[in-house]
Amino acid sequence: MKLRFQHIFGAALTACALGLSSASALAQEIKISHQWKANSDARDKAARVFIQEVNKKDPNIKFRIYPSQSLGIKPVAQLDALQNGTLEMAIFPMSYAVGKAKEFSGVILPGTIPNLDMAMRLKTSSYYKRIQELSEKNGFRIITWWWTPGGFATKEKMITTPASVAGQKMRAADPTFESMLKAAGASVSAMASSEFYPALQSGVLTGGLTSAETFVSMRLYEQTKMATVPGDKTLWMLLQPLVMSKQHYDKLTPAQKAIFEEAAAKSDEYFLAEQRRAVDDMVQAYKKAGGQVHTLTSAEYDQWIELAKKTAYPEYAAISPAAKAILDDLMKAK
């Protein structure tokens, strides 16, 4: 009887210890880093939707958002922190990962994803599987599926055909776009979008490309007056999801992973609605600031696509068989 009591008591202590350990693990704060302003940029707001949805199912999972680089990690360097596990989650423009793997340019190739509807359909395609596999191979997992349409803006000259960028000093956010712009006569500088405003202000740049969301949230309309905004077909579309360090994702239980997936789907719905409004917000911001707005005509758009077929597409396909497969998936999905 005594031995049985000791066995039961020991088992109870073990269970209690395991429970405390589990609670402690759940109580550990998950840090989410990003470069945009809190409560104004849709990427920050959608992250808060994700957190709310997770906590509806499991309030023991704790999060803390660090907006505006307040964690002290530069936008591109977030990948290193995710890979080594010192950062749990980030909102990460995927083209920033090209320094680790050039195949990541497949999330921004010029004109390959012309609208948000196609972007969302890709979630159930082989393209998604390839991008997710590429991400996990590089130490992180894509959690949400947030796409941002974007366009051009310059200080003095409206961008229409490829010829119109000649002589411009531009930021494009990816080597494939940079290659295309160089072929059209522009000079390019690589930088995170958080560096875009001061580069325009100092004269390092005369213009560039980024998301409609960023043009507004970072007030780029203060430094540029000629905006080419997304139309029925968008030349610039970028995947900027909430991602998680694979080290930390692998520690989640199956139930927690399911909760994250459900919360991600809710945040995707929210973010999609925000991006449908983002282009209108960009138009209104430029007009209110005294700027001018243009939408690429079909003929202008087609000229850009023809240039991409001669520059960005073949250069990307030549990177590796994996890159070619990603490009082929995109072409089939259109």
CB environment 120-156: b (16+ within 10 A), e (fewer): eebeeeebbebbeebbeebbbbbbbbbbbbbbbbbee
pTM of the model: 0.91
Residue spans of alpha helices (H) in 92-195: 116-121, 126-137, 175-183
- Give the residues across from 91 on adjacent strands: 242
- Residue 62, amino acid: K
Q: In order of start, what are the domains of the chain with their CATH numbers? A: 29-333 (3.40.190.170)
CB environment 290-317: b (16+ within 10 A), e (fewer): ebebbbbeeebbebbbebbeebbbebbb
Going residue by residue through the chain, which has 334 residues, state the pLDDT in tens, using 9 for 90 and above.
444 434 444 444 443 443 433 443 444 799 999 999 999 999 999 999 999 999 999 999 999 999 999 999 999 999 999 999 999 999 999 999 999 999 999 999 999 999 999 999 999 999 999 999 999 999 999 999 999 999 999 999 999 999 999 999 999 989 999 999 999 999 999 999 999 999 999 999 999 999 999 999 999 999 999 999 999 999 999 999 999 999 999 999 999 999 999 999 999 999 999 999 999 999 999 999 999 999 999 999 999 999 999 999 999 999 999 999 999 999 999 8
Residue 98: phi, psi to the nearest 5? -65, -20
Tokens at residue 221, please? 């309309």
Which residue, 216, 207, 214, 200, is CA-closest to 186? 207
